[in-house]
Amino acid sequence: MKGILLVNLGSPRSTAVKDVREYLDEFLMDEKVIDYRWFFRALLVQGIILNTRPAKSAEAYKTVWTDEGSPLIVITQKIQKKLQKLVDVPVEIGMRYAQPSIEAGIQKLVDQGVTEIVLFPLYPQYAMSTTETVIEKAEEVRKKKFPGIKINYIQPFYNREIYIDCLAESIREKLPENFDALQFSYHGVPERHIYKTDPTNTCNLNDCCSRENNPSHQFCYRHQCFDVTNSVIKKLGLPKEKVMVTFQSRLGKDKWMEPYTDETLETIGKKGVKNLAIVCPAFVSDCLETLEEISVEGKHQFEHGGGENFHYIPCLNDEDRWIDVVKILCEEKLNEFYLV
Ligand SMILES: C=CC1=C(C)c2cc3[nH]c(cc4nc(cc5[nH]c(cc1n2)c(C)c5CCC(=O)O)C(CCC(=O)O)=C4C)c(C)c3C=C
Ligand SMILES: [Fe+2]
Ligand SMILES: [Fe+2]
């Protein structure tokens, strides 16, 4: 029997500082996220970051937390429920960090008799700190706990036409009538991650990422963010001059991909962008990084820098047109089980 596991990043159990610390410890001690050798990672994460960040992050989580829990988990559950109505195989969810874990999700499927799983990492673009760590974790769990089951992984879908159509339509519906610029703010990654995961050594984080063809594109997060942006603005018929791409949520002292979202928001008002629309297509579901960092903090930064009207465009969340895309991508992979 077949089944589907939808995997998202995960959130703390609650907004209590100790739960946020436990979550950040698991998240940031992942060597695909902070990719230093264990000793230096532990020094940075457990010796420095975990002293102050949990309290600060807990306050931020409190501002977005709902009666049902973390927005990211609640929305992933909504996607699960809607998808379950459309497909005739069991659908469960699992989070890369904290609960419900990937292991718990697989166990639920196995308890229903599933032996072949389609696992869907809910990230449009490939990154070492997202898609790759999900697959690595799921494989570790499968080998240790469920050696008899097969897992088929859905690959990053940033360039799939059904996804681009869906995202473009969703943005089109939510765009305000008047806007001076549309900003695409993607979650950042340290530049080092891009070099590290480029097996072709052909990306130098320059024009190569915008070229139509470069061997590194399959593993280049930067290219994939540009590609989504270009495809969407083409569908929307927007001129490039009205569009910006920036990268948000950096952590630590490393050089992350530029330009930075916060610095851009602080300065564009003075450059004449008074009415701004902003969208975050690295996330399929709204979460702390969109609801707090962009909608609240980002709005302050924009207004502080002379901007006037800030319009946040929500993620795809549980929109029906997005659930249809999830269904199609899952069914393609479910069908591959018949081919082997
Ligand atoms: C969408 C893709 C994501 C990438 C790429 C990514 C890389 C990445 N993130 C951190 C550090 C943090 N991220 C945090 C929150 C967070 N990150 C993503 C997604 C990506 N991260 C999401 C969906 C969320 C929100 C989780 C939620 O519960 O809503 C946080 C925790 C919050 C905070 O303290 O600010 C950290 C820390 C690194 C270091 C990294 C790549 C190296
Ligand atoms: Fe690149
Ligand atoms: Fe993150």
Q: Which pLDDT band holds residue 202 (cuts at 50, 70, 90)?
A: very high
Q: What is the mean pLDDT of residues 214-235?
A: 96
Q: Which pLDDT band holds residue 235 (cuts at 50, 70, 90)?
A: very high
Q: Is the dihedral of CA 139, 327, 161, 223 positive or negative?
A: negative
Average pLDDT score, the chain: 97
Q: Which pLDDT band holds residue 253 (cuts at 50, 70, 90)?
A: confident
H/E stretch holding 170: helix 161-174
DSSP assignment letter at 93: E
C-alpha neighbours within 13 Å on the C-beta side of residue 283 = 31
Give the lowest-confidence range in 9-18, 207-216, 230-239.
207-216
The pocket of ion ligand 2, defined by CB under 5 A, consists of 203, 209, 220, 222-223
Q: Which atom of ligand 1 is nearest to the CA of 291?
A: 29
Pick the ligand that lies closest to the CA of residue 218: 2
Q: What is the mean pLDDT of residues 42-50?
A: 97
Q: How far apart are CA 26 and CA 38, in angstroms?
A: 13
% pLDDT > 70, the chain: 99
| 193 annotated ligand-binding residue | no
pLDDT at residue 340 is higher than 60? no
Q: Whose CA is nearest to atom 35 of ligand 1?
A: 57
Q: Is the ipTM of this complex over 0.85?
A: yes
| 297 annotated ligand-binding residue | no
Phi–psi pair at 309, nearest 5 degrees: -115, 120
Contact 153, 121 (CB under 8 A): yes
**pLDDT at res. 176:** 96
pLDDT at residue 296 is higher than 90? yes
Regarding the beta carbon of 194 and ligand 1, being less than 6 Å apart is answered no
pLDDT at residue 339 is higher than 70? no
**pLDDT at res. 337:** 87
Q: What is the mean pLDDT of residues 261-286?
A: 97
Closest CA to 329 of 103, 10, 4: 4
Pick the ligand that lies closest to the CA of residue 188: 1
Q: Which pLDDT band holds residue 237 (cuts at 50, 70, 90)?
A: very high
Q: Which of 9, 93, 125, 297 to mutate to test the pocket of ligand 1 (most atoms within 8 A of CB)?
A: 9
**pLDDT at res. 241:** 94
Buried b (16+ CB within 10 A) or exposed e, 293-321: bbbebbbebbeebebebbbbbbbbbbbee
Measured CA angle at 249 (ends 247, 253), to 5 deg: 100
